[in-house]
Amino acid sequence: WTAIDSAEDAKPGRLNVVSVDTEDFKPNPGELTSEAGGDSFKSLEKAVDDLASTKTEVIVTAPINKDAITQAGFKFPGHTEYLAHMANADDVLMFLVADNLRIGIVTGHIALKDVATSLTGAAIKSKLALMNESLLRDFGCASPRIAVLGLNPHAGDNGLMGDEEKNIIAPVIRDACSAGMNVFGPYAADGFFGSGAYKDFDGVLAMYHDQGLAPFKAMSFGKGVNFTAGLPIVRTSPDHGTGFDIAGKGTASPDSMRSAIFLAQDIRKNRIDYRDISSNPLEITPPRREYRDSRR
């Protein structure tokens, strides 16, 4: 590897490490300290500055310890919220990506007890729009098919176990279909993943964090990538945490980080291709698709 002072000094074919002012701090692997959190914050700020000045084109964020970085003055729940703030993005989508599976999350990092009250038609509509646009622009899906999961067991079972599917989720799906999007649901999450139905869709929209992350990590842990859709820049990260318990043991797998780097490169290229093919398009009215309730 090569230590450099600026991204502009990067050497082709080498691992270039940009130096950040650390005030002679010497980290101890696996130890949580505010000094280590401060260094991670400085590194993130430097990476964002280089993006803003077009010295770099994508950002791949390594895991951070939220306790350590918060002690250093970081005021955001995580990378995603910080990057959305710095990019002035109105809304973003946590999009988990693996070879045969893409899952977006509506309510994100909130307590489970707050999910139902946070689940609004406007929130689902926004995340659906972000997912559809990302599948078109970032993943090259010409006519993306999106599955929407229900909130309650058995997708509410026609109101017997909750009415969010009937009163909130289904109307958004109907409106999306009327607008020309290929959206289906709401599906009961257990049967949807258990039957392998997810393989028939380009993207899946889950209502809350663990509803999407649990099946994703069960099928793709160590290979999956967290992508933030809705940002003007390309940001990916591995799908695991800091792993303090294995720090210094030489047993960590590089696979998810490697996948995050490759995906960032692919998305950058896809965005360029999408921009080229969508410039000066012919105006085409999309066909209307009638909504069919998919609860089961």
pLDDT digits (tens, 9 = 90+) for 252-271: 999 999 999 999 999 999 99
Please indicate, yes or no, whether residues 121 and 261 belong to a single structural domain of this protein: yes
Please indicate, yes or no, whether residues 164 and 294 belong to a single structural domain of this protein: yes
For the chain, first and last CA: distance in Å? 54
| pLDDT band (50, 70, 90) for residue 156 | confident
Range of the domain at 215: 90-242+253-278+289-296
Span of 22-26, 153-157, 193-197, 234-238 with lowest mean pLDDT: 22-26
Please indicate, yes or no, whether residues 69 and 101 belong to a single structural domain of this protein: no
**Quick one: pLDDT at residue 71?**
92
| pLDDT band (50, 70, 90) for residue 140 | very high
CATH number for position 237: 3.40.718.10
In a domain, 82, yes or no: no
**Quick one: pLDDT at residue 250?**
92
From 24, 52, 75, give the residue that closes a domain: 75
In a domain, 284, yes or no: no
Please indicate, yes or no, whether residues 103 and 52 belong to a single structural domain of this protein: no
From 43, 75, 107, give the residue that closes a domain: 75
Q: Which residue has the higher pLDDT, 31 or 181?
A: 181
What average pLDDT is seen over the chain?
A: 92
pTM: 0.88
**Quick one: pLDDT at residue 77?**
85
| pLDDT band (50, 70, 90) for residue 208 | very high
The answer to whether residue 206 scores a pLDDT higher than 90 is yes
Please indicate, yes or no, whether residues 139 and 270 belong to a single structural domain of this protein: yes
**Quick one: pLDDT at residue 294?**
61
Please indicate, yes or no, whether residues 257 and 128 belong to a single structural domain of this protein: yes
The full length of the chain comes to: 296
In a domain, 156, yes or no: yes
In a domain, 84, yes or no: no
The answer to whether residue 296 scores a pLDDT higher than 60 is no
In a domain, 230, yes or no: yes
Please indicate, yes or no, whether residues 156 and 209 belong to a single structural domain of this protein: yes
From 75, 109, 132, give the residue that closes a domain: 75
DSSP-derived secondary structure for 167-232? IIIHHHHHHHHHTT-EEEEEEPHHHHHHTTGGGG-SEEEESSHHHHHHHHHHHHTTT-EEEEET-S
Please indicate, yes or no, whether residues 117 and 44 belong to a single structural domain of this protein: no
**Quick one: pLDDT at residue 284?**
64
Closest CA to 260 of 224, 220, 229, 206: 224
Q: What total number of domains does the chain contain?
A: 2
> How far apart are alpha carbons 203 and 67 in whole angstroms?
32
In a domain, 109, yes or no: yes
In a domain, 198, yes or no: yes
| pLDDT band (50, 70, 90) for residue 169 | very high
Q: Is 11 exposed, middle or buried (0-12, 13-18, 19+ CB in 10 A)?
A: exposed
Please indicate, yes or no, whether residues 63 and 99 belong to a single structural domain of this protein: no
In a domain, 154, yes or no: yes
